[in-house]
A and B are shown apart, each in its own frame.
Chain A
């Protein structure tokens, strides 16, 4: 019953990403199970790190000669392209579950889990969060295991919000998964 409810919750934001398979669903198979945490304080910390290479480069935004690129689910690369022939990666701003980025007046507006956060980057040696509105983007905190290939179907154990926040997915044999995408 509970799983069903969770699946329905997933159905709402993303109608086709999760379906209830019922008793006639697939049996044992290779799939993913969520790894949970209840330690949210570290996940809610906005901080800077040295420049890193992009692995899952996401959406882009530009203003002036700065380019911002989301690193899917983990933060934002900040790149100075004053010299377009030699763009210079300034550093990385960590924001767990980051998926979107927009910038105005030296302030980044992005998501951190399901919260809206405003990050002041006007002084790179003191990048810090200046504003937050909690819980306004529930769909941005949804997490799914990554597809290996585009269009591939991946099966996974439906996340149970009661167990905490999903921080990663573990590949293993699962039985009758109720969620897939």
Chain B
């Protein structure tokens, strides 16, 4: 009996620790010792710090000693803060009316580098970034929690070469966007009941609509190595993006 228990415990330890070495199938783990969250998250970890946004502020926690997280600082950002996304040594924060960029040069006390106000005010809006481009998906609704603004739901494309001065380059009409993610030349935009739209961003400031996958209600995505993990209504779905990120191939899903 004891032996059986030991075997089970051993199995789980193996599952948790050594799966990372199983990369012969071109799978994720070895290339990604780092974790990744969706674009709509309010919690994120960068280095030895946990960053959390609430509706108005950014909080930092030193997690060098995980058993004893230390609440370090609270920075007031603005109203209706919704999402936080780490990229390199920066935090991209989405609010209902603006995109904010914070430097982590002093990780305990993030410092604002930029604030870009949307031409559309008051929407729901995650932000992701890659190299010198940032994409924000703004959802404007007539009813519900995003029914605060005017204008149309849009994908905003910013040039962030000069990090302190994001420049709006393009504005592309969307229907009902929520989360988004970018890998190589592909930008994935979840459009909820409208499915997921894939844009070709090989020219990063000029996303070109490529195709739409309408099999699920899509809320958010994490492009992670060769796998696209999608938060969909009732659970999640996995797509293979190893061969061609612009052509995700359905692998599996777990729904309720």
Q: By the criterion CB–CB under 8 Å, are B66 and A118 in contact?
A: yes
B219 to chain A, nearest CB (A): 9
B210 at the interface (CB under 8 A from A): no
A49 at the interface (CB under 8 A from B): no
Q: By the criterion CB–CB under 8 Å, are B240 and A59 in contact?
A: no
Query: Interface residues of B, CB < 8 Å — how many?
Result: 67
One of A67, A123, A130, A138 near B229 (C-beta < 8 A): A67
> Chain B CB within 10 Å — which of A85, A87, A138 has the most?
A87
One of B12, B35, B56, B240 near A62 (C-beta < 8 A): B35
Q: By the criterion CB–CB under 8 Å, are A102 and B45 in contact?
A: yes
Binds B, one of A25-33, A34-42, A75-83, A162-170: A75-83
Q: By the criterion CB–CB under 8 Å, are B19 and A82 in contact?
A: yes
A9 at the interface (CB under 8 A from B): no
Q: By the criterion CB–CB under 8 Å, are B69 and A118 in contact?
A: yes
B contact residues around A136 at 8 Å (CB) = 52, 59, 61, 71
A124 to chain B, nearest CB (A): 4
A contact residues around B41 at 8 Å (CB) = 59, 61, 100, 102
Q: By the criterion CB–CB under 8 Å, are B238 and A60 in contact?
A: no
A contact residues around B45 at 8 Å (CB) = 102-104, 109
A181 at the interface (CB under 8 A from B): yes
Q: By the criterion CB–CB under 8 Å, are A84 and B37 in contact?
A: no
Query: What's the Cα separation between A59 and B38 when bound, in Å?
Result: 7
Within 8 A of B (CB), among A98-118: 99-107, 109-110, 116, 118
Query: What's the Cα separation between A55 and B29 when bound, in Å?
Result: 28
B contact residues around A107 at 8 Å (CB) = 66
A9 to chain B, nearest CB (A): 13
Q: By the criterion CB–CB under 8 Å, are B145 and A16 in contact?
A: yes
B36 at the interface (CB under 8 A from A): yes
A175 at the interface (CB under 8 A from B): no
A contact residues around B61 at 8 Å (CB) = 116, 133, 136
Spell out B's residues near A (CB within 8 Å).
5, 8-9, 12-13, 15-17, 19-20, 22, 27-29, 32-38, 40-45, 50, 52, 54-56, 59, 61, 63, 66-69, 71, 79-80, 141-145, 147-148, 220, 222, 224, 227, 229, 231-236, 238, 240, 251-252, 254-256
9 A/B residue pairs, CB under 8 Å, sorted by A: A69-B235, A86-B252, A89-B254, A99-B42, A100-B43, A104-B66, A116-B52, A123-B16, A125-B5
